[in-house]
């Protein structure tokens, strides 16, 4: 995709990285970006007025995603990160055809990491119903390696448990094992956390599964892909910059913002409320 002509020629590009999600789960991607790219400014927009996207039609997700991404462009975003697996699965190609900046989704980076680390070629994917139903991870994984076997499972109970803050709960452990035991029995050696909420459960999943299964965190790998993209297109900010984070939501935040802040150690500061036009 072409890059906006507003980028400065020297001294780095101080414009923010635009990041959006259907809600607040994409803050896991923001946290990874802050660790990996501390000199970059980030503008995060969570469409909390219309969350979740998972039950919406593809055309609706595409329309919502274009509206949110357009708002990020009005904030002078130099690139846009689609920090939502549903939007990445259903709307990324639409956005690539209509926006004048580069884009990064969460699915391809996760698939690349999974194919790189699997030892037996048997990869599991967990995600929301919409993401799993789309088949986007299977397509991405098989495109990278036609020999891999993929087993995907929707885990609709995990997001509500995460949003309640039950990250180390016996109830959550039991639900996780209900979802994961058939995949483990099937022989996977790699598990893709195919929802941006799920990295908050990474410690619990690691504890339950041990070292036999390698976890692939879509948030971490998305951040790595963004760093490579900024380098490729000479969009990186100056190393002397302090970076910064602005968080905007389309509706008042709920209790999950506190959960995310505590789990991610992420200072989001004052929340802006934005109206989509």
Exposed (0-12), middle (13-18) or buried (19+): which is 156, by Cβ within 10 Å? middle
Sorted by sequence, the CB contacts under 8 Å of residue 199 that are 6+ apart come out as 28, 193, 217, 218, 219, 220
d(CA 267, CA 277): 28
Give me the DSSP letters along 171-236: HHHHHHHHHHHHHHHTT-SEEEEESTTGGGGHHHHHHHHGGGSEEEEHHHHHHHHHHHHHHHTT-P
**Active-site residues: which are they?**
84, 195
Peptide bond into 52 cis (omega under 30): yes
Sorted by sequence, the CB contacts under 8 Å of residue 26 that are 6+ apart come out as 19, 20, 44, 46, 83, 84, 196
Nearest Cα neighbor of 161 from 171, 152, 149 is 171
């Amino acid at each position: 995709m072409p890059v906006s002509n507003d980028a400065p020629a020297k001294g780095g590009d101080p414009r923010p990285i635009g990041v959006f999600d259907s809600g607040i789960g994409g803050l896991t991607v923001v946290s990874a970006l802050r660790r990996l790219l501390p000199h970059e400014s980030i503008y995060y927009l969570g469409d909390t007025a219309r969350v979740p996207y998972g039950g919406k039609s593809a055309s609706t997700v595409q329309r919502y995603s274009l509206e949110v991404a357009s708002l990020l462009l009005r904030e002078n975003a130099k690139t846009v990160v689609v920090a939502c697996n549903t939007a990445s699965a259903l709307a990324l190609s639409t956005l690539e055809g209509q926006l004048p900046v580069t884009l990064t989704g969460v699915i391809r980076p996760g698939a690349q990491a999974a194919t790189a680390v699997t030892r037996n070629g048997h990869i599991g994917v967990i995600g929301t119903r919409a993401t799993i139903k789309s088949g986007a991870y299977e397509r991405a994984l098989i495109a990278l390696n036609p020999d891999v076997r993929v087993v995907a499972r929707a885990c609709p109970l995990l997001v509500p448990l995460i949003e309640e803050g039950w990250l180390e709960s016996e109830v959550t452990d039991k639900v996780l094992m209900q979802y994961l035991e058939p995949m483990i029995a099937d022989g996977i050696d790699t598990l893709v956390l195919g929802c941006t909420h799920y990295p908050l459960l990474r410690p619990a999943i690691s504890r339950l599964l041990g070292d036999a299964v390698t976890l692939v965190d879509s948030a971490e790998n998305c951040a790595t892909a963004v760093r490579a993209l900024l380098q490729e297109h000479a969009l990186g900010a100056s190393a002397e910059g302090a970076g910064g984070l602005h968080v905007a939501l389309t509706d008042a935040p709920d209790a999950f913002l506190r959960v995310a802040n505590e789990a991610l150690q992420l200072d989001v500061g004052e929340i802006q409320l934005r109206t989509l036009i």
